[in-house]
Amino acid sequence: MMLLKNLCDASGVSGHEEEVRALIAASLPDCETHVDIMGNLLCEKRGNGPKILFAAHMDEVGLLISGVDENGFLQFKIVGGINTDVLLGKKVYIGEKKIPGIVGVCAVHLQKKEARKSAVLPEDMYIDIGAANREEALSVVSLGDFAVFPPNFTQFGDNLVEAKAIDDRAGCALMIRLLHEKYDAHICCAFTAQEEVGTRGAQAAAEFFRPEYAVILESTFCSDIFPTEPQDFVTTLGKGIALPFMDRTSTPDKYLVSSLVLTAQTHNIPYQRKRSGRGGTDAGVISRAVEGIPTAILALPCRNLHSPSSVLCLDDYENTWKLLDAWLRTSAPSLIRR
């Protein structure tokens, strides 16, 4: 649990994955590691079985400071996909010094009638760090600094966790656990960079390893909340890992997916089908890398994805671990060699 907490609470907006990468590197067992040009952290534990690449991304959505006005308010651009309605009134930490700031919005009392009913555009938002003017702001913040949501890992309810960056630190945590085990398969793990800005890191990782198969450990949206109707839930929290069959970037390999499903069924591990074709993952570029790599996706359902308060069910997390472990012990060794 501490591993997951520390990973979620660490800062790593796309292109600034250093802190997360250092934390992961410090949590790894003895294995071959390499940091590539894209910033991916690549780890390998050789075995005699099929060469399987696991991938989870280190980066998270966030903000990039793009300007400072004369009164010391910061302008920003959004890195990755964030609905602006989760930004307003939230605290963020800016830069490596983690300067606290508040995403400001004109008080409701002063808003005109139409403004009260409309979403605020990102270009109309600003961050208030309490600086008196531009000069004071620039003494602690620089253009190009990234801003992240502050650490807030909290356990609540029936084994749920609220945190920022569950997407995809949960996947990273699972991969670290996996590297601590011993399997017959030749295990390659890619902690990838820049997934949230267009799955930029994963291609280089796939090229480096040239695996026979790839399994992406991701977090996916879960809309099983009021007032969504069940047909629009996409995934349901607490009902196990979700398997996509087609999404915006990839078509998971049928043979690999059925191997995973069979393992889940044999070991009575809950899983669910992802009921949507939306969303994209590192599977897109990895499945098309080298000469084509059969790829599957295991996606953890996550409420309020891409917000400061995403919600994960720890039962889903543990069951995913059980599935991965069981699959690597029983089914993976007998995958057809390519």
Q: Please report whether residue 112 would count as binding other proteins according to CB under 8 A.
A: no
Cβ(302)–Cβ(222) below 8 Å = yes
Asked about 135 being catalytic, the answer comes back as: no
Q: Please report whether residue 108 would count as binding other proteins according to CB under 8 A.
A: yes
How far apart CA 44 and CA 271 sit, in angstroms, is 28
* Closer to other proteins by Cβ: residue 237 or 335: 237
Residues 269-298 that bind other proteins (CB under 8 A): 278-279
- Choose which of 131, 166, 175, 264 interacts with other proteins (CB under 8 A): 131
* Closer to other proteins by Cβ: residue 158 or 291: 158
Q: Please report whether residue 116 would count as binding other proteins according to CB under 8 A.
A: yes
Q: Name the active-site residue from 60, 162, 195, 212.
A: 195
Other CB atoms within 10 A of residue 184 CB: 14
Q: Please report whether residue 37 would count as binding other proteins according to CB under 8 A.
A: no
How far apart CA 90 and CA 309 sit, in angstroms, is 11
Q: Which stretch binds other proteins (CB under 8 A): 172-180, 181-189, 306-314, 326-334?
A: 306-314
- Choose which of 2, 26, 37, 132 interacts with other proteins (CB under 8 A): 132
* Closer to other proteins by Cβ: residue 182 or 278: 278
Q: Please report whether residue 86 would count as binding other proteins according to CB under 8 A.
A: yes
Q: Which stretch binds other proteins (CB under 8 A): 46-54, 97-105, 182-190, 194-202?
A: 97-105
- Which residues, other chains included, contact 178 with Cβ-Cβ below 8 Å and sequence gap of 6+? 54, 187, 189, 324, 325, 328
How near is the Cβ of 236 to other proteins at its closest, in Å? 10
- Choose which of 4, 179, 206, 311 interacts with other proteins (CB under 8 A): 311
Count Cβ atoms within 10 A of the Cβ of residue 322 and give its class: 0-12 exposed, 13-18 middle, 19 or more buried. Answer: middle
Q: Is 225 helix (H, G, I), strand (E, B) or coil?
A: coil
| Cα distances (angstroms) measured from residue 232 to each of 72, 79, 235, 236, 309 | 43, 27, 9, 10, 21
Query: CA dihedral defined by 36, 190, 194, 308, rounded to 10 degrees?
Result: -140
Residues 159-218 that bind other proteins (CB under 8 A): 159-160, 162
Of the candidates 73, 75, 91, 77, the residue with the CA atom closest to the CA atom of residue 137:
73
Catalytic residue set: 195
